[in-house]
Amino acid sequence: MTPKNNFFSLRGQFLYWCAAILVVSTAFPFFWMVSTSFKPLPEIFVSPPRFLPDEFTLANFERLFEQTRFLTYFRNSVFVSLATVILTITIGSAGAYSLTRFQFYGREKIASLILFTYMFAPIMIVIPFYVLIKKIGLANTHIALIMAYTAFCLPFSLWLLRAFFQSIPLALEKAALIDGASRFQAVIYVVLPSALPGIIATSIFTFILAWNDYIFVRILITSDELKTLSVGIADLYNATVIDWGMIMAGIMLITVPILIFFVFVQRYLIAGWGAGAMKG
Amino acid sequence: MKLNSQKAGILLIAPSVLLICSLLVYPVLYGAWLSLFKKHSFFPDQRFVGITNYIYLMKNSDFWMSIWYGTVYSVSTIFFQIIIGIVAALIVNEAFKGRNFVRGVILFPYVIPTVVAIILWKWLLNDQFGLVNYLLVSVGIVEDPLSWMGKDYIMTTLILISIWEFFPFVVLSILARMQTIPPVLYSAAKVDGAGPFRRFIHVTLPQLRNVLFVIILLRSIWMFTKFDTVWLLTQGGGADKYIRTLPVYAYMRTFMYYQAGLGSALAVIMFIILVVATMIYFKMFRREEEI
Contact B5 A131 (CB under 8 A): no
Q: What is the pLDDT of residues A148-198, one digit of tens each?
A: 999 999 999 998 899 888 888 888 888 888 888 888 888 888 888 888 888
Query: Which pLDDT value is given to residue B170?
Result: 93
Contact A32 B131 (CB under 8 A): yes
Q: What would the DSSP string read from start to end of A201-256?
A: HHHHHHHHHHHH--HHHHHH--SGGG--HHHHHHHHHHHSS--HHHHHHHHHHHHH
Which residues, including other chains, have CB under 8 Å from residue A170's CB and lie 6 or more apart? A101
A chain contacts of residue B213, beta-carbon cutoff 8 Å: none
Phi-psi label, residue A39: left if phi above 0, alpha if psi -120 to 50, beta otherwise: beta
Q: Does the pLDDT at position B146 exceed 80?
A: yes
C-beta separation of A86 from A239 below 8 A: no
d(CA B241, CA B6): 55
CA dihedral A162, A163, A166, A167 (to 10 degrees): -150
Query: Which pLDDT value is given to residue A1?
Result: 43
Contact B27 A48 (CB under 8 A): no
Contact B114 A212 (CB under 8 A): yes
Whether residue A9 is contained in a domain is answered as no
Query: Which pLDDT value is given to residue A185?
Result: 87
Contact A12 B96 (CB under 8 A): yes
Contact B9 A107 (CB under 8 A): yes
Nearest to B27 among A27, A129, A274 (CB): A129
d(CA A119, CA A75): 31
d(CA B169, CA B111): 10
Query: Which pLDDT value is given to residue B291?
Result: 45
Query: Which pLDDT value is given to residue A276?
Result: 53
Q: Which residue has the higher pLDDT, A1 or B133?
A: B133
- Chain pair A-B, CB pairs under 8 angstroms: 266
Nearest to B102 among A19, A128, A147 (CB): A19
Whether residue A197 is contained in a domain is answered as yes
Q: Does the pLDDT at position B288 exceed 80?
A: no
Q: Where are the domains of chain B?
A: 60-285
Mean pLDDT on B29-46: 89
Q: How confident is the model at residue B3 (pLDDT cuts 50, 70, 90)?
A: very low
Q: How far is B152 from chain A (nearest CA, A)?
A: 22
Whether residue A45 is contained in a domain is answered as no
Q: What is the pLDDT of residues A192-248, one digit of tens each?
A: 888 888 898 889 889 989 999 999 999 999 999 999 999 999 999 988 788 899 999
- ∠ CA B109-B110-B115, nearest 5°, is 75
Contact A270 B121 (CB under 8 A): no
Mean pLDDT on A80-100: 95
- ∠ CA B51-B53-B55, nearest 5°, is 70
Contact A215 B92 (CB under 8 A): no
C-beta separation of B77 from B85 below 8 A: no
Q: Does the pLDDT at position A15 exceed 60?
A: yes
- Provide the CATH number for the domain around residue A117: 1.10.3720.10
Cβ neighbours around A173 below 10 Å, total: 19
Domains identified in chain A, total number: 1
Q: Does the pLDDT at position B185 exceed 70?
A: yes
> Of A87, A203, A65, which Cα lies nearest the Cα of A150?
A87
Class of domain B60-285: mainly alpha
Q: What is the pLDDT of residues B60-109, one digit of tens each?
A: 999 999 999 999 999 999 999 999 999 999 999 988 888 888 988 888 89
Q: How far apart are the first and last CA of chain B?
A: 33
Q: Which residue has the higher pLDDT, A7 or A23?
A: A23
Q: Among the listed ranges A2-6, A62-66, B46-50, B203-207, which one has the minimum average pLDDT value?
A: A2-6
- Candidates B116, B122, B233: best to mutate against A (most CBs of A within 10 A) is B116
- Residue B29: in which H helix or E strand, if any? helix B26-34
A chain contacts of residue B113, beta-carbon cutoff 8 Å: 211-212, 214, 229-230, 254-255, 258
Prediction ipTM score: 0.89
d(CA A65, CA B240): 32
B chain contacts of residue A215, beta-carbon cutoff 8 Å: 227-228, 231, 251
Q: How confident is the model at residue A274 (pLDDT cuts 50, 70, 90)?
A: low
d(CA A153, CA A109): 19
C-beta separation of B108 from A30 below 8 A: yes
Q: Three-state DSSP class for B238? A: coil
A chain contacts of residue B125, beta-carbon cutoff 8 Å: none
Q: What would the DSSP string read from start to end of B119-165?
A: HHHHHHT-TTT-HHHHHHHHHTS-SS---TTSTTTHHHHHHHHHHHH
- Give percent of chain A above pLDDT 90: 50
Q: Three-state DSSP class for A7? A: coil
d(CA A201, CA A89): 11
Across chain A, what does the average pLDDT equal? 88
Q: Domain range for residue A180?
A: 62-274
> Of A92, A274, A133, A118, which Cα lies nearest the Cα of A217?
A133
Which residues, including other chains, have CB under 8 Å from residue B223's CB and lie 6 or more apart? B73, B74, B77, B78, B162, B166
> Of A147, A144, A263, A150, which Cα lies nearest the Cα of A203?
A150
Q: Does the pLDDT at position B224 exceed 60?
A: yes
**Residue in B with minimal Cα distance to A186:** B1
Whether residue A212 is contained in a domain is answered as yes
Q: What would the DSSP string read from start to end of A102-148?
A: ---TTHHHHHHHHHHHTT--HHHHHHHHHHHHHHTT-TTSHHHHHHH
Q: Which residue has the higher pLDDT, B199 or A268?
A: B199
Long-range Cβ pairs for the range B175-179 (8 Å, 24+): B175/B89, B175/B92, B175/B93, B175/B103, B176/A270, B176/A273, B176/A274, B176/B211, B177/B207, B177/B208, B177/B210, B177/B211, B178/B89, B178/B90, B178/B93, B178/B204, B178/B207, B178/B208, B179/B93
Contact A5 B5 (CB under 8 A): no
> Of A179, A252, A230, A224, which Cα lies nearest the Cα of A77?
A230
pTM: 0.91
